[in-house]
Structure 1
Amino acid sequence: MHRSPARRAPLLVALLVTLVLAVLAAVVEVPAGTGRAAAAALVGRAVETPANPLAARPWGVYTGGADGVYPAWQRAKGARKQLLAKAALRPRVRWFGSWIPATQVRAKIKDYVTTTQAEAGTPDVLVQLAVFRLWPQGEGAKDEPLTAADQAAYRRWVDQAAAGIGTARVAMVLEPDLGVALQGWRPSVRMKLTAYAAKKFGSLPNTHVYLDASSADWLTVPVARDLLLESGILHVRGFALGATHYSSLGSELLYGRQLVAALAAAGVPGRRFVVDTADNGRPFTWLEYWSKHPRGDFDNAEPCRAKAERKCNTLGVPPTARVAAKRWGLAPAQRTAARRHADAYLWFGRPWLYRQASPFQLERTLQVARTTPW
């Protein structure tokens, strides 16, 4: 039916308002819908920091089965489905590592990228991934030498992974737990390999790389600075905090601010950072955890049993680029640090997995979803 301009105006205004609200929404709520369309609808946009490449564009949601979260949500019903949605329908960083051979990693990453783009309905979507390739035999083998063949295999794997990313828009956390390299065989070798990866991935046109820089309760600022300098921070946008620890968001922001200043003083200014908030909803330090659980497993920290419990593992601030929002309850100095230096809060920790690695644990996931303050 033909509509006159006067009758079309209210409809156009309504559509424009809806569009603006969608663009300004941060990734903090779980959509009520179901299926892949609902997951694709959950995108993060923020205009808080115009120079931030992670803001003002959609964030993809991983709907594959590698971490077990999305398939569990698909199978669930009723209250369980609502709880699992708190993890399954939010943007999560997918990890790629030595369990994927160099001959396959290019195709695996390319498939992940194209699937995420298709489900978001745009090639402009931000794809999130972590590269965890420094430990081909696991971190437990940190004292074992890396042979010349091992080192060549690392570089070959990185080359293939970079080819799989290509021109896609990517936020990358590079080598989570990089600080472990300082405790093992010839740290300089692993840092040199990481620097190779930083330069390779950092040269991609739309890939924004964040080198792991430990956590506020782990390395001192001078040690973290030197680790980053040796591992290629010069070639990338910034660094990542909190990958395998559970320190508070506020403490990570202040630690990150100090590290930015330390890097600038060392001749590498303007670096930004991201913080993992997947599992620090009720934060605690390494020492606090051992005080509460003398024989506990820090890598598989106890989930909260109730919302009122403190110093336990539960989901934290949802993934977002609106880092200084009042909703996060940050102190003034923390909000300032976030606004000036942080690009985003990402979920690259994996509290739904056993020991943050594998396999997926349904009851654990339900527990951290049930007790989150968010």
Structure 2
Amino acid sequence: MSAAADDADPAVGLAGSDLYLNPWSTTLEAAQALAGQARADAQLLGSIPSADWFTTGTPAEVEEAVDDVVTAAAVQGRMPVLVAYNLPFRDCAQYSAGGALDTAAYQAWIDGLVAGIGGRPATVILEPDGLGIIPHYVTLDGVAEWCQPAEIPAETAAADRYTQLNYAVDALGALPSASVYLDGTGASWLNVGEISDRLLKGGVQRADGFFLNASNYQFTANSTAFGTWISQCIAYVTEVSPGDFGSCGNQYWNGGPANNWTGVAMSQYGEWSADAADPALNTAGVDSRYESILGGVEPTTRFVIDTSRNGLGPWQFPADTYPVHEDWCNPPDRGLGVRPDTTTDVPLVDAYLWIKVPGESDGKCYRGTGGPLDPARGIEDPAAGQWFAEQARELVALADPGVAPLDCHVGWDVEADASGFAAKVRTSAAGNLAFFFAGDQAVRKATRGEFTQDGAAVTATAAERPGNAPDALLHVVGEPDQPWIFWLDGRACTSD
């Protein structure tokens, strides 16, 4: 039965919700093929909620895949974050090429995703780069952008992109408990007026807001300022001076009343603030511009920020070293940022999310060379979306704020029997052990310890045992699959 047939839960928004952690995430899947430090890093990253990406498949396939995640989240009363990434000609056929064949195929795919959510709470990050990279697009300043594929009619490509996004916004917006956020690019990309215009054309006023810094490295402070200016610009051009995007202050010239209109281009290589001594980091001029043009009008368009890899900010690449620096593509020596949080207490910011799954590659980065090596790293990077153990190690080691390693361990040894298997469970300390089965496995009894099971969720006691005896011995009916993540007294653990 489709999720849409389920009874609808009360409407729940992203802000203030408890985020869902998928125990069968791509991060934990990657850990299964790793060993040693690389496995521990993947298990650590898999213990922190990241978004689940949906990038392909038929409408029926995406419905089933989304339903699996949303159902599991609903059982726990938690908020899943889903990334819809299947626009026709996404990423302009670059590192993350792919997507639906045309508008009709995309709309059918969105219908499948919508059916998979049904009446349950879910947050949808709608099409990263979907508004940043539009085929055959001409900016407000009359500049034809670089993405000009011959396969798409130039006269209809931009209009088709807006048709696709507006359809998705309306289809998701019709659900009782879903939230949807549109691509707001990032603080080092489009200027405020340009992305505000695209957001309005994409339907942001019917959405829950926009997202920033997806798969990028910009400082959270800079994204906060940039997002606030976008929200102020939207308020200005819709309520004060319709269509006057040119008066929206932006990051490429920060003059305004507060600095006597002595502006400079803002730098991405430091954290912005209203009292920064460096003029290239100071937001006071732009802040004061919006204060003067808005009057008493308050901005209301909200946003979320991807903090998955921005702890140290962007890579300040060496000058005159690579033909193309590609600072967005697996830059070296970056760190995890602020942990996912839906209680930011920052005006207009609904959440800090890990939209990009940290540890997954941005693509095979050649930086203008012939490859196959990434010249900044001296190795061949994995394809986009594949696990990148070396980068995962950097993100963990250089995290800001720092992240502690997992401090408990679980051993899981299986012996098949007539009805299923016996799991000998050893833990690094006594306590209550929690995990999820992947299928319909059922614990029949516990020879050592006690257990409870509710659907796929199992809790077992792990008591200290003398000698080499297992802490718990579970007799299970079903296939002998090992859970991908364990919690001991609420703490995530590494496992063999």
Counterpart code for 1:206:
S
Residue aligning to 2:22: 62
CA distance in 2, matches of 1:52, 1:340: 19
Aligned counterpart for 1:371 among listed residues 386, 390, 398:
398
Report the CA distance shift for 1:81/1:274 in structure 2 as closer, same or farther (over 3 A).
same
Deviations 1:106-156 (A, max 9, x none): 1111012123334xxx2x3101111112135652279x9x99x71111111
Residue aligning to 1:166: 118
Report the CA distance shift for 1:202/1:289 in structure 2 as closer, same or farther (over 3 A).
farther
Report the CA distance shift for 1:237/1:293 in structure 2 as closer, same or farther (over 3 A).
farther
Residue aligning to 1:218: 189
Residue aligning to 2:309: 279
Residue 78 of structure 1: CA displacement?
6.7
Any conservation in 1 of the 2:38–2:389 contact (CA below 8 Å)?
A: no
Give the 3-state SS of the residue equivalent to 2:300 in structure 1. coil
Is 1:112 aligned with 2:65? no
CA distance in 2, matches of 1:292, 1:242: 26
Report the CA distance shift for 1:257/1:283 in structure 2 as closer, same or farther (over 3 A).
same
Question: Highest relative contact order (Cα 8 Å, sep 6+), 1 or 2?
Answer: 1
CA distance in 2, matches of 1:55, 1:86: 25
Residue 260 of structure 1: CA displacement?
0.6
Any conservation in 1 of the 2:63–2:113 contact (CA below 8 Å)?
A: yes
Aligned 1:285-300 pairs, distance under 5 A: 288-289=316-317, 291=319, 294=322, 295-300=324-329
Aligned counterpart for 2:348 among listed residues 341, 346, 355:
341
Residue aligning to 2:251: none
- Aligned residues between the structures: 290
Is 1:303 aligned with 2:332? yes
Residue aligning to 2:47: 89
Deviations 1:48-71 (A, max 9, x none): xxx993244321102224x3x113
Which is greater in Rg? 2
Residue 358 of structure 1: CA displacement?
1.9
CA distance in 1, matches of 2:321, 2:119: 46
CA distance in 2, matches of 1:345, 1:141: 27
Aligned counterpart for 1:251 among listed residues 222, 227, 230:
222
Any conservation in 1 of the 2:59–2:109 contact (CA below 8 Å)?
A: yes
Aligned 1:195-234 pairs, distance under 5 A: 195-234=166-205
Residue aligning to 1:321: 342
CA distance in 1, matches of 2:191, 2:24: 37
Residue aligning to 1:6: none
Deviations 1:330-371 (A, max 9, x none): xxxxxxxxx211000001123412216321122321221122
Residue 75 of structure 1: CA displacement?
6.4
CA distance in 2, matches of 1:223, 1:247: 19
Aligned 1:230-241 pairs, distance under 5 A: 230-241=201-212
Any conservation in 1 of the 2:217–2:328 contact (CA below 8 Å)?
A: no
Residue aligning to 2:387: 360
RMSD: 2.8
Residue 82 of structure 1: CA displacement?
4.7
Residue aligning to 2:461: none
Counterpart code for 1:371:
L
Residue 271 of structure 1: CA displacement?
1.2
Aligned counterpart for 1:139 among listed residues 74, 87, 92:
92
Deviations 1:147-183 (A, max 9, x none): 9x71111111111110111111111111101210144
**Deviates most, 164-173 or 364-373:** 364-373
Give the 3-state SS of the residue equivalent to 2:128 in structure 1. coil
TM-score, scaled relative to structure 2: 0.54
Deviations 1:281-303 (A, max 9, x none): 11127xx4474863444342223
Counterpart code for 2:300:
G
Report the structure, 1 or 2, having the larger helix content.
1
Any conservation in 2 of the 1:177–1:214 contact (CA below 8 Å)?
A: yes
CA distance in 2, matches of 1:345, 1:291: 32
Give the 3-state SS of the residue equivalent to 1:130 in structure 2. strand
Any conservation in 1 of the 2:121–2:177 contact (CA below 8 Å)?
A: yes
CA distance in 2, matches of 1:137, 1:273: 22
Aligned counterpart for 2:104 among listed residues 127, 131, 152:
152
CA distance in 1, matches of 2:90, 2:224: 32
Report the structure, 1 or 2, having the larger strand content.
2
Residue aligning to 2:4: none
Residue 230 of structure 1: CA displacement?
0.7
| Identity percentage of aligned residues | 26
CA distance in 1, matches of 2:28, 2:218: 26
Report the CA distance shift for 1:176/1:81 in structure 2 as closer, same or farther (over 3 A).
same
Counterpart code for 2:18:
P
Report the CA distance shift for 1:154/1:75 in structure 2 as closer, same or farther (over 3 A).
closer
Give the 3-state SS of the residue equivalent to 1:354 in structure 2. coil
Aligned counterpart for 1:128 among listed residues 73, 78, 81:
81
Residue 198 of structure 1: CA displacement?
0.8
CA distance in 2, matches of 1:290, 1:151: 42
Deviations 1:228-281 (A, max 9, x none): 011111211100000132111101000001001111123375211000000111
CA distance in 1, matches of 2:62, 2:211: 23
TM-score, scaled relative to structure 1: 0.70
Counterpart code for 2:127:
E
CA distance in 2, matches of 1:231, 1:290: 37
Any conservation in 2 of the 1:72–1:362 contact (CA below 8 Å)?
A: no
